[in-house]
Amino acid sequence: MKIILKYILTNVKERKTRTAVMLLSILLSTTLLFVSFSIGASYESAQRKMARGMAGSATLSVTAVEGEIAENALPDLPAIRASVPMLEGAALYHENGYYETIDLIGADISKLNKINPPRLADGGEITDFTGNKVILPDRFTSKYGIEAGDTITLQIGGQPVSLEVAAVAAYDTVFLRHTRGATALLPLTTLSELLGKTDGYSEILVEPAEGISTSELKSELSAALPDGTYRVSEVVNETQIAADARQKSMPFFLISFFSLTMSVFIIYSSYKVITLDRLPVIGTFRSIGATQKAVTQILLLESGLYGILGGLLGIPVGTLVLKLILQGMGESLSQGIEIPIVISPISIIFSFAVAVVVSLLSAWMPVRRASRLPIKDVVLGSVEEKQVPRRFILVGGVVLFVVSIILPKLASGNSLYLAGGFSLLGLIAATILIVPLLTNLMAMGLERIYGAVLGNTGRLAARNMRDNKNTVQNITLLFISISAVIAITVVGNFVTTYVSDVFNGAELQGFADGYMEQEFVDQVKEMDGIEKVLPVYVYENQMQANGTTLSRLEATDHLDWYGPMLALHYTEKGMEEQAISAFDGERAVLLSESCMDRTGFAVGDTLSLAVGSGKADYKVVGSFKSRATDVEAVIPSTFAVSDFGASAYDFLAYTAADPDAIMVQIRDLFGDTSNWSRTVEEFNTDALSTVGAFLQPMHSMTYFILLLATVGVINNLLINYIQKRRSIAMYKSVGLSNRQNMKMALIEGFSSGLIGAVIAIFVSYMEIQTIFLVAGPKISMVPELDAVTFLAAGGMGIAVTLLGSVVPIFKSRRMKLVEEIKFE
């Protein structure tokens, strides 16, 4: 055993470059896989941190179905560790003509400290927090040059209120937010008086006692509280956060998938050469009595060593990369929060295991083949590579390719993901099988073109690519790399757009959220440059449908505008026309697909809608999905007025020649009235600064793929040159000059790049189709396929192979012809 280990270590040491290439490919793959795993968990944790901003360690929120909740409404349960009443309000801060929305939070500081103690920017403690005082976050104070001890004026309920800045807090805890504006903390009693809400609170935050789970406490509280009076809800929607994190880590996993595929190919092709190199040693081993199994084990032990080393190094490197990525993410986030690094033991174990398994499996095929060779052939050096009939490979490749395309189209539900995974892998595997044929066919075409344009050298260069294993190997690696870069770029760009641009495809250019009378709407309609104005009545968590509360119901008198404005995608063709006609005079309701999933309602059902004293039956006339709105139901506004007494609008969407100019006027119209008004562009900028930061690292990870591709190409060139230098010497011996050699090498490099790029563009296009077919049911967007992305990636591939040709060109210039020719 000792001697075998020594033999393996000597091999590793002697072949430094090859060892470095293999280690690097494993290391990069492990790093990428590890980062992909951890980034999702870290993102999830950051999201949770942001979602928990106000609640701290409290996990439940208790609110009254109507009005405020009294502190004594909560029963004294041993399952409760702490309960903190919170009062919420809104204010406006006016500075330089711009109104900044301030969310007001009123809390008893001693109680708040139990679940979510605010962290002061100077590190001190809040001692006296009573009266007209306010604590503001440093992000807000630094923007307006406010310091502790200053007095600021806020418009609360239309009245100016002067407050003394008691302290400046870090952008953390209750001050953390998802949107623009700022949060201000006031003493509970002060805010109660200012808002005129002295008999209750907006909500009571509850932290479970130790050993009690949130769901346990939730059921206990729901049971203890009187029916229909209070609502107990979880502060953080864990399912939503997990789904969100999964969505954002999708591109990272895609990167890992490609990097692993590339590693497999790099190790496999390296091992084909390694085993060829080692044939004399294998022969010696076998001739002195080593079994096939023993030879396989010896060679696999070496690849296992690469796997273990690459895996062990990949984890710390991955941690470092993750740290850098998260640091960059945190800094680029508009809120500037610190994102914790979350590393689960499973991600460590899995990444390491994959490194070892991938390394072993990739080497297994060539190793097993070598160890099974007849001893006589190995010793005499008369080993001939077994040729699998080309027809079988081709048919196998084509069948696999077709199956990979069709399978996701046939699958549904959970099997769709399985089919998608198979399809991605199948497309690459099938293309690997077809590459030799495609290369031959394309080289034949190029032979004619080059022959006519570039003469015999061009023709020979193209001819040289036919039935050339090195060329096939280069093209294969190249197509995997280029298709990886294309797929990752397209998916990455899509995710960025998907996450940040919720209004993608929606016609509206601006919106206002606030109390709006008909007169307000009329004034907006009169504004210069305004095009469409769509006022909407909103019932948030008020409307009951057959006893189930709808989270948001909107009423419009212009369904034909409403659909395009909010990018409504109707479930079935023809549903839109039906709905528009039904809205014109019938009690009709449109439901979102998610609402139908949640409630079990179906198109054709009659729902009894009720709010307050109003009640009426509505027929479900259609369903839709939309990313631009989270509305669950839409009804005609005529009936919202007649059945439920709707009087003032709560939401308004518009299109205009100059949306910004309209927005300024709308804000002016609102005056000091609380509102949330944004142009879509403003909204997107805000959203992008939040989510864009999370997606930025994905773009940097694309460079890892390029690095891995470069490693692979270098590896190939090494193998290539070793095998090719003899053929270059043969050419030179019959009169090939250095100039002709350079021309041929460049033409070959260019052609390999071109063929690789063409194949990659096609394969990546098919892969993108599969990815979006699998993701399709969850999203209501189609990817934009930008020709520039495809062409740029293809061009990059050509550049890589052209650059790669430089080394053989220079090396062959200094080639000792006699040595190369005489060497056998």
48 is an interface residue for other proteins by CB under 8 A:
no
Our measurement of the distance from residue 400's CA atom to the centroid of its chain's CA atoms, rounded to an integer in Å, reads: 29
822 is an interface residue for other proteins by CB under 8 A:
yes
Of the candidate residues 732, 756, 790, 794, the single one contacting other proteins (CB under 8 A): 732
Judge whether 25 and 266 are in contact, CB under 8 Å: yes
CA pair distance 543, 555, nearest whole angstrom: 12
Of the candidate residues 727, 782, 784, 791, the single one contacting other proteins (CB under 8 A): 727
Binding region for other proteins (CB under 8 A) out of 286-294, 299-307, 349-357, 458-466:
458-466
Of the candidate residues 731, 750, 762, 765, the single one contacting other proteins (CB under 8 A): 731
CB of 477 to other proteins, least distance (A): 19
> For other proteins, what does the binding mask look like between residues 776 and 795, x meaning CB under 8 A?
--------------------
Residue type, 378: V
Residue type, 778: K
Q: 14 or 824, CB closer to other proteins?
A: 824
CA pair distance 766, 119, nearest whole angstrom: 52
737 is an interface residue for other proteins by CB under 8 A:
yes
81 is an interface residue for other proteins by CB under 8 A:
no
815 is an interface residue for other proteins by CB under 8 A:
no
Of the candidate residues 301, 689, 738, 779, the single one contacting other proteins (CB under 8 A): 738
824 is an interface residue for other proteins by CB under 8 A:
yes
Of the candidate residues 81, 111, 463, 725, the single one contacting other proteins (CB under 8 A): 463
Q: 463 or 569, CB closer to other proteins?
A: 463
Of the candidate residues 63, 202, 457, 496, the single one contacting other proteins (CB under 8 A): 457
Binding region for other proteins (CB under 8 A) out of 274-282, 549-557, 778-786, 812-820:
812-820
Residue 519 exposed, middle or buried by CB count within 10 Å (0-12, 13-18, 19+): exposed
Give strand ranges (E) for 593-739. 606-611, 614-625, 633-636, 649-656, 675-679
Judge whether 633 and 553 are in contact, CB under 8 Å: yes
Give strand ranges (E) for 35-79. 60-64
Q: 457 or 556, CB closer to other proteins?
A: 457
Judge whether 119 and 170 are in contact, CB under 8 Å: yes
For every residue of 264-306, DSSP letters joined together read HHHHHHHHHHHHHHTHHHHHHHHHTT--HHHHHHHHHHHHHHH
Nearest to 646 by CA among 673, 606, 614, 678: 614
3-state SS class at 414 = coil
736 is an interface residue for other proteins by CB under 8 A:
yes
CA pair distance 631, 583, nearest whole angstrom: 17
| Burial call 466-492: b when 16+ CB within 10 Å, e when fewer | bebebbbbbbbbbbbbbbbbbbbbbbb
- Locate 590 and state its tokens: 């449109």
Binding region for other proteins (CB under 8 A) out of 166-174, 464-472, 749-757, 790-798:
464-472
Q: 459 or 627, CB closer to other proteins?
A: 459
Of the candidate residues 379, 740, 750, 781, the single one contacting other proteins (CB under 8 A): 740
455 is an interface residue for other proteins by CB under 8 A:
yes
734 is an interface residue for other proteins by CB under 8 A:
yes
255 is an interface residue for other proteins by CB under 8 A:
no
Our measurement of the distance from residue 511's CA atom to the centroid of its chain's CA atoms, rounded to an integer in Å, reads: 27
Total of chain residues touching other proteins, rule CB under 8 A: 30
Nearest to 480 by CA among 302, 275, 269: 269
377 is an interface residue for other proteins by CB under 8 A:
no
According to DSSP, the β-strands at 159-169 and 80-95 are unpaired
Of the candidate residues 454, 779, 785, 821, the single one contacting other proteins (CB under 8 A): 821
475 is an interface residue for other proteins by CB under 8 A:
no
389 is an interface residue for other proteins by CB under 8 A:
no
Of the candidate residues 209, 441, 730, 791, the single one contacting other proteins (CB under 8 A): 730
Q: Which residues bind other proteins (CB under 8 A)?
A: 384, 455-457, 459-460, 463-464, 466-468, 727, 729-740, 813, 817-818, 821-822, 824
